[in-house]
């Protein structure tokens, strides 16, 4: 990683409640408990790995407040409330040093329309296009080959990575982060079958992405047929997610890889969808609904629902059915034996 932090510098970042042991090693890398070597930092984020702490060679270990055990010689334990959160804060600092924000300004190869508004404090990278009426706010960074369509808006302190598209009229609010290849404002998938042909329904709405949203690589958010497709404040979207037209996603939702959401569906706040979950159109998932990977949901859900399977059923019911499913061969064999007995 080409970084070096003293133990005191790490402690200043993660703010431990207490410590145990001592090390003279500078921290130069981060590794799992099992693979760590002197000079590495590791952490106990999952209780299942608790036994590995005693054997780790890491010089510094982030451990939870309830951990019981003593460090080895030349090893430091920092006791924090949530080791994973503490590690994330350290990684945020490392990220800033590895990929520092580029200086403000417009690259000579970028094409900026005369009526576009680009803040002097923004960065517009090579081969970017900012069309008429579009705006880019202070502190935002457009990396190489980003397209900002006519009358689109990028707020302040956004980070738009290479190859992203923000379609005409669409809006990123503040501190939005787009990973490479994200498309905001592709046409919604709408057709009417007329006289033996699929006739395209114009998609004239927009997409609004609210503050502090992050969207993973190659995900697509379709513009609304009319009005708006919305992603609420603080929502995090993984790679390869498809959000259909007129979908309304609430605040602080989590959508994992390859989730697909059909048009005109509403996700209330704090919904979590596991990888490859599919959500039908024109339904509402109540606040705090959770769905496991590959769950198929075609109906409204009550707040706090926990679902799994296709079609979706309550999570624990689906788990019990999976156990019973594995017993079916034995059950059929017993029934067959019973049927073969003389009557």
Q: Which residues are catalytic?
A: 245
Parallel, antiparallel, or unpaired for β 220-222 and 242-243? parallel
Alpha-carbon span 148 to 117, nearest angstrom: 11
CB proximity list for 322: less than 8 A, separation 6 or greater: none
Residue 61 burial (C-beta neighbours within 10 Å; 0-12, 13-18, 19+): buried
Alpha-carbon span 71 to 7, nearest angstrom: 14
CA-to-CA separations, 59 to 72, 76, 191, 280, 306, in angstroms, rounded: 9, 6, 61, 50, 41
Q: What angle do CA 266, 272, 278 make, to 5 degrees?
A: 65
Q: Output DSSP code: residue 207.
A: E
CA nearest to 224, candidates 208, 236, 238, 235: 208
């Amino acid at each position: 990683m080409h970084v070096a932090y003293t133990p005191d510098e790490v402690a200043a970042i993660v703010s431990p409640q207490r410590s145990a042991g001592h090390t003279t090693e500078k921290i130069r890398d981060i590794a799992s408990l099992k693979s760590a070597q002197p000079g590495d930092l590791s952490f106990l984020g999952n209780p299942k790995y608790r036994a590995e702490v005693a054997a780790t060679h890491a010089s510094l270990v982030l451990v939870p407040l309830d951990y019981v055990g003593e460090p080895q010689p030349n090893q430091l334990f920092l006791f924090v409330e949530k080791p994973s959160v503490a590690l994330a804060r350290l990684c945020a600092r490392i990220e800033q040093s590895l990929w520092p924000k580029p200086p403000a300004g417009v690259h000579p190869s970028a094409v900026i329309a005369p009526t576009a508004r680009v803040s002097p404090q923004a960065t517009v990278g090579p081969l970017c296009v900012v069309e008429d009426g579009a705006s880019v706010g202070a502190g935002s960074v457009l990396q190489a080959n980003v397209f900002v369509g006519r009358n689109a808006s990028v707020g302040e302190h956004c980070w738009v990575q290479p190859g992203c598209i923000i379609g005409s009229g669409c809006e990123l609010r503040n501190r939005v982060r787009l990973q490479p290849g994200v498309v905001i404002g592709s046409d919604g998938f709408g057709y009417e079958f007329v006289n033996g042909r699929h006739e395209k329904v114009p998609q004239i709405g927009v997409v609004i992405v609210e503050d502090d949203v992050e969207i993973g690589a190659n995900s697509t958010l379709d513009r609304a047929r009319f009005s708006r497709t919305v992603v609420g404040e603080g929502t995090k979207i993984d790679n390869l997610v498809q959000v259909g037209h007129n979908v309304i996603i609430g605040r602080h939702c989590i959508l994992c890889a390859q989730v697909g959401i059909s048009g005109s569906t509403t996700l209330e706040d704090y919904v979590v969808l596991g990888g490859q979950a599919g959500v039908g159109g024109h339904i509402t998932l109540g606040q705090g609904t959770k769905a496991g990977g590959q769950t198929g949901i075609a109906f409204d859900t009550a707040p706090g629902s926990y679902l799994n399977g296709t079609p979706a059923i309550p999570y624990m019911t689906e788990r019990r059915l999976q156990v019973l499913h594995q017993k079916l061969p034995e059950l059929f064999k017993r029934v067959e034996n019973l049927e073969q007995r003389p009557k």
